[in-house]
Protein backbone atom coordinates (compact mmCIF):
# COMPACT_ATOMS: atom_id res chain seq x y z
CA UNK A 1 0.00 0.00 0.00
CA UNK A 2 2.85 2.40 0.86
CA UNK A 3 4.42 1.60 -2.50
CA UNK A 4 1.14 2.47 -4.24
CA UNK A 5 0.88 5.84 -2.45
CA UNK A 6 4.50 6.59 -3.28
CA UNK A 7 3.91 5.96 -7.00
CA UNK A 8 0.73 8.06 -6.99
CA UNK A 9 2.52 10.93 -5.30
CA UNK A 10 5.29 10.82 -7.89
CA UNK A 11 2.76 10.91 -10.74
CA UNK A 12 0.93 13.91 -9.25
CA UNK A 13 4.21 15.76 -8.79
CA UNK A 14 5.28 15.02 -12.36
CA UNK A 15 1.95 16.30 -13.72
CA UNK A 16 2.22 19.50 -11.71
CA UNK A 17 5.76 20.11 -13.00
CA UNK A 18 4.61 19.58 -16.60
CA UNK A 19 1.73 22.03 -16.15
CA UNK A 20 4.04 24.66 -14.67
CA UNK A 21 6.51 24.18 -17.51
CA UNK A 22 3.79 24.60 -20.14
CA UNK A 23 2.52 27.75 -18.45
CA UNK A 24 6.01 29.16 -18.22
CA UNK A 25 6.69 28.41 -21.90
CA UNK A 26 3.46 30.16 -22.93
CA UNK A 27 4.41 33.28 -20.97
CA UNK A 28 7.98 33.32 -22.24
CA UNK A 29 6.91 32.88 -25.87
CA UNK A 30 5.45 36.37 -25.79
CA UNK A 31 2.29 35.46 -27.71
CA UNK A 32 -0.43 37.84 -26.56
CA UNK A 33 -3.97 36.52 -26.19
CA UNK A 34 -6.20 36.99 -29.22
CA UNK A 35 -8.19 40.22 -29.10
CA UNK A 36 -10.63 41.85 -31.52
CA UNK A 37 -10.95 38.66 -33.60
CA UNK A 38 -14.35 37.87 -35.10
CA UNK A 39 -15.60 34.57 -36.50
CA UNK A 40 -18.10 34.85 -39.34
CA UNK A 41 -19.43 33.14 -42.45
CA UNK A 42 -21.31 34.01 -45.62
CA UNK A 43 -22.92 32.01 -48.41
CA UNK A 44 -23.67 32.36 -52.09
CA UNK A 45 -26.16 30.17 -53.97
CA UNK A 46 -26.95 29.71 -57.67
CA UNK A 47 -29.83 27.64 -59.03
CA UNK A 48 -29.25 25.92 -62.35
CA UNK A 49 -30.92 23.39 -64.63
CA UNK A 50 -29.62 19.84 -64.21
CA UNK A 51 -27.78 18.88 -67.39
CA UNK A 52 -26.65 15.29 -66.78
CA UNK A 53 -29.02 12.34 -67.20
CA UNK A 54 -28.27 8.83 -65.90
CA UNK A 55 -30.48 5.93 -66.95
CA UNK A 56 -29.94 2.48 -65.47
CA UNK A 57 -31.36 -0.48 -67.40
CA UNK A 58 -31.45 -3.89 -65.78
CA UNK A 59 -32.74 -7.42 -66.00
CA UNK A 60 -32.81 -10.55 -63.85
CA UNK A 61 -32.75 -14.25 -64.55
CA UNK A 62 -33.63 -17.27 -62.41
CA UNK A 63 -32.83 -20.94 -62.85
CA UNK A 64 -31.54 -24.14 -61.33
CA UNK A 65 -28.07 -23.97 -62.88
CA UNK A 66 -25.69 -21.12 -62.02
CA UNK A 67 -23.79 -21.32 -65.31
CA UNK A 68 -27.01 -21.19 -67.34
CA UNK A 69 -28.27 -18.14 -65.45
CA UNK A 70 -24.94 -16.39 -65.91
CA UNK A 71 -24.99 -17.13 -69.65
CA UNK A 72 -28.51 -15.73 -69.99
CA UNK A 73 -27.47 -12.53 -68.23
CA UNK A 74 -24.39 -12.19 -70.40
CA UNK A 75 -26.40 -12.59 -73.60
CA UNK A 76 -28.91 -9.96 -72.49
CA UNK A 77 -26.13 -7.54 -71.55
CA UNK A 78 -24.17 -8.14 -74.77
CA UNK A 79 -27.26 -7.41 -76.86
CA UNK A 80 -27.93 -4.22 -74.88
CA UNK A 81 -24.31 -3.07 -75.20
CA UNK A 82 -24.31 -3.64 -78.96
CA UNK A 83 -27.43 -1.49 -79.38
CA UNK A 84 -26.33 1.26 -76.98
CA UNK A 85 -22.87 1.63 -78.53
CA UNK A 86 -24.46 2.53 -81.87
CA UNK A 87 -25.57 5.84 -80.37
CA UNK A 88 -22.63 6.42 -78.02
CA UNK A 89 -20.94 9.82 -78.24
CA UNK A 90 -18.37 11.26 -75.80
CA UNK A 91 -20.02 13.58 -73.31
CA UNK A 92 -23.45 13.20 -74.91
CA UNK A 93 -24.06 9.48 -74.34
CA UNK A 94 -21.57 7.39 -72.40
CA UNK A 95 -22.20 3.66 -72.05
CA UNK A 96 -20.91 1.49 -69.21
CA UNK A 97 -21.89 -1.72 -67.46
CA UNK A 98 -23.27 -1.57 -63.93
CA UNK A 99 -23.87 -4.20 -61.29
CA UNK A 100 -23.56 -7.88 -62.29
CA UNK A 101 -24.47 -10.31 -59.52
CA UNK A 102 -25.30 -13.99 -59.16
CA UNK A 103 -26.44 -15.54 -55.89
CA UNK A 104 -28.15 -18.75 -54.70
CA UNK A 105 -31.68 -19.15 -53.36
CA UNK A 106 -31.90 -21.33 -50.25
CA UNK A 107 -34.65 -23.50 -48.83
CA UNK A 108 -35.67 -23.41 -45.18
CA UNK A 109 -33.24 -26.21 -44.39
CA UNK A 110 -30.33 -24.40 -46.03
CA UNK A 111 -30.20 -26.28 -49.33
CA UNK A 112 -29.70 -24.45 -52.61
CA UNK A 113 -32.95 -24.37 -54.58
CA UNK A 114 -31.69 -22.37 -57.54
CA UNK A 115 -29.79 -19.33 -58.71
CA UNK A 116 -30.81 -15.76 -59.37
CA UNK A 117 -28.81 -13.02 -61.02
CA UNK A 118 -29.09 -9.44 -62.20
CA UNK A 119 -27.15 -7.24 -64.59
CA UNK A 120 -27.20 -3.52 -65.37
CA UNK A 121 -26.31 -1.18 -68.20
CA UNK A 122 -25.81 2.53 -67.51
CA UNK A 123 -26.47 5.27 -70.07
CA UNK A 124 -25.23 8.70 -69.04
CA UNK A 125 -24.69 12.04 -70.73
CA UNK A 126 -26.00 15.49 -71.59
CA UNK A 127 -28.02 14.58 -74.69
CA UNK A 128 -31.34 13.68 -73.07
CA UNK A 129 -33.09 12.87 -76.34
CA UNK A 130 -30.31 10.54 -77.49
CA UNK A 131 -30.24 8.71 -74.14
CA UNK A 132 -34.02 8.39 -73.90
CA UNK A 133 -34.29 7.17 -77.48
CA UNK A 134 -31.52 4.61 -76.99
CA UNK A 135 -33.08 3.30 -73.79
CA UNK A 136 -36.31 2.67 -75.68
CA UNK A 137 -34.51 0.58 -78.31
CA UNK A 138 -33.06 -1.99 -75.90
CA UNK A 139 -35.55 -4.85 -75.52
CA UNK A 140 -33.29 -7.14 -73.51
CA UNK A 141 -33.25 -4.84 -70.45
CA UNK A 142 -35.93 -2.87 -68.62
CA UNK A 143 -35.78 0.55 -67.01
CA UNK A 144 -34.40 0.41 -63.48
CA UNK A 145 -33.68 4.00 -62.47
CA UNK A 146 -33.59 7.55 -63.84
CA UNK A 147 -31.66 10.35 -62.12
CA UNK A 148 -30.48 13.85 -62.94
CA UNK A 149 -27.44 15.79 -61.73
CA UNK A 150 -24.91 18.42 -62.82
CA UNK A 151 -22.04 17.71 -65.20
CA UNK A 152 -18.52 18.60 -64.05
CA UNK A 153 -18.35 21.57 -66.41
CA UNK A 154 -21.71 22.91 -65.26
CA UNK A 155 -20.87 22.39 -61.60
CA UNK A 156 -17.48 24.13 -61.92
CA UNK A 157 -19.03 27.14 -63.64
CA UNK A 158 -21.84 27.47 -61.11
CA UNK A 159 -19.51 26.96 -58.14
CA UNK A 160 -17.36 29.81 -59.43
CA UNK A 161 -20.37 32.11 -59.52
CA UNK A 162 -21.57 31.07 -56.08
CA UNK A 163 -18.07 31.42 -54.64
CA UNK A 164 -17.72 34.96 -55.96
CA UNK A 165 -21.05 35.85 -54.36
CA UNK A 166 -20.02 34.28 -51.04
CA UNK A 167 -16.69 36.13 -50.97
CA UNK A 168 -18.36 39.48 -51.62
CA UNK A 169 -20.90 38.74 -48.88
CA UNK A 170 -18.08 37.79 -46.48
CA UNK A 171 -16.15 40.99 -47.21
CA UNK A 172 -19.24 43.15 -46.81
CA UNK A 173 -20.18 41.48 -43.54
CA UNK A 174 -16.63 41.83 -42.16
CA UNK A 175 -16.55 45.52 -43.10
CA UNK A 176 -19.95 46.13 -41.47
CA UNK A 177 -18.88 44.39 -38.26
CA UNK A 178 -15.64 46.37 -38.11
CA UNK A 179 -17.51 49.63 -38.64
CA UNK A 180 -20.17 48.69 -36.10
CA UNK A 181 -17.54 48.17 -33.40
CA UNK A 182 -15.75 51.42 -34.22
CA UNK A 183 -12.78 49.94 -36.11
CA UNK A 184 -11.40 51.30 -39.35
CA UNK A 185 -11.05 47.96 -41.11
CA UNK A 186 -10.03 44.33 -40.83
CA UNK A 187 -7.47 41.79 -41.98
CA UNK A 188 -7.99 38.12 -42.73
CA UNK A 189 -6.64 35.61 -40.24
CA UNK A 190 -7.98 32.34 -41.67
CA UNK A 191 -10.49 31.34 -44.29
CA UNK A 192 -12.29 28.17 -45.44
CA UNK A 193 -14.40 27.60 -48.55
CA UNK A 194 -16.93 24.77 -48.81
CA UNK A 195 -19.30 23.91 -51.66
CA UNK A 196 -22.30 21.60 -51.79
CA UNK A 197 -24.98 20.69 -54.28
CA UNK A 198 -28.55 20.83 -53.01
CA UNK A 199 -30.13 18.84 -55.81
CA UNK A 200 -33.74 19.45 -56.55
CA UNK A 201 -36.10 16.52 -56.85
CA UNK A 202 -35.67 14.80 -60.21
CA UNK A 203 -38.87 14.61 -62.18
CA UNK A 204 -38.94 11.54 -64.41
CA UNK A 205 -42.38 11.40 -65.94
CA UNK A 206 -44.71 8.64 -64.84
CA UNK A 207 -45.63 5.52 -66.74
CA UNK A 208 -42.09 4.89 -68.02
CA UNK A 209 -42.34 1.14 -67.76
CA UNK A 210 -45.70 1.09 -69.54
CA UNK A 211 -44.40 3.33 -72.31
CA UNK A 212 -41.40 1.08 -72.82
CA UNK A 213 -43.57 -2.04 -72.93
CA UNK A 214 -45.90 -0.51 -75.51
CA UNK A 215 -43.16 -0.13 -78.11
CA UNK A 216 -39.56 -1.28 -78.15
CA UNK A 217 -38.62 1.85 -80.13
CA UNK A 218 -40.48 4.32 -77.93
CA UNK A 219 -38.23 6.87 -76.22
CA UNK A 220 -38.32 6.92 -72.44
CA UNK A 221 -39.96 10.26 -71.43
CA UNK A 222 -37.80 12.23 -68.99
CA UNK A 223 -37.71 15.75 -67.60
CA UNK A 224 -34.88 17.22 -65.52
CA UNK A 225 -35.25 19.32 -62.41
CA UNK A 226 -32.99 22.03 -60.98
CA UNK A 227 -30.10 22.02 -58.53
CA UNK A 228 -28.88 24.75 -56.19
CA UNK A 229 -25.12 24.98 -55.77
CA UNK A 230 -24.15 26.72 -52.53
CA UNK A 231 -20.69 27.88 -51.50
CA UNK A 232 -19.98 28.94 -47.91
CA UNK A 233 -16.99 31.08 -46.94
CA UNK A 234 -16.15 31.04 -43.24
CA UNK A 235 -13.21 32.19 -41.21
CA UNK A 236 -11.82 34.75 -38.77
CA UNK A 237 -10.91 38.39 -39.24
CA UNK A 238 -8.77 40.71 -37.11
CA UNK A 239 -10.41 44.07 -36.52
CA UNK A 240 -7.88 46.87 -37.11
CA UNK A 241 -7.58 50.56 -36.35
CA UNK A 242 -6.35 51.32 -39.87
CA UNK A 243 -8.15 50.56 -43.16
Residues 4-59 have pLDDT tens digits of 444 444 444 444 444 444 444 444 455 566 789 999 999 999 999 999 999 999 99
Which residues are within 8 A (CB) of 11 and not within 5 positions of it... i.e. 6 or more apart?
Answer: none
What is the spatial distance between Cα 42 and Cα 166, in angstroms, rounded to a whole number? 6
Residue 23 confidence (pLDDT) = 45
H helices of the chain, in order, are 2-29, 66-87, 128-135, 152-180, 208-214
C-beta separation of 113 from 66 below 8 A:
no
H helices of 53-180, in order, are 66-87, 128-135, 152-180
- Split at pLDDT 50, 70, 90, the class of 242 is confident
Closest by alpha carbon to 47, among 165, 189, 210? Answer: 165
- Split at pLDDT 50, 70, 90, the class of 159 is very high
The full set of domains in the chain, from first to last, is 36-51+150-243 (3.30.110), 52-149 (3.30.70.2970)
Query: Mean pLDDT throughout 168-186?
Result: 95
Using DSSP, state whether 36 is helix, strand or coil.
coil
On the CB side of 201, CA atoms within 13 Å amount to 2
Query: Mean pLDDT throughout 124-139?
Result: 94
Residue 120 forms beta bridges with which residues? 58
How do residues 188-221 score in pLDDT, each as one tens digit?
999 999 998 776 544 444 334 333 443 445 566 7
What is the spatial distance between Cα 216 and Cα 214, in angstroms, rounded to a whole number? 7
- Split at pLDDT 50, 70, 90, the class of 183 is very high
Is residue 107 predicted with pLDDT exceeding 80? yes
Residue 20 Cα distances to 11, 12, 33, 62, 144, angstroms: 14, 12, 18, 74, 67
Amino acid sequence: MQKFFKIATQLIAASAMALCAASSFSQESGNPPLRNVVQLSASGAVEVQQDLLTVVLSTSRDGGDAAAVQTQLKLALDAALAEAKKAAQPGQLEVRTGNFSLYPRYSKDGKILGWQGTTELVLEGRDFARIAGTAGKIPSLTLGNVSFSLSRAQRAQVEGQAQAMAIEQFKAKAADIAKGFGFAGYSLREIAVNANDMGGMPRPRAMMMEAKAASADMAVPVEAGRSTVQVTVSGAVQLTTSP
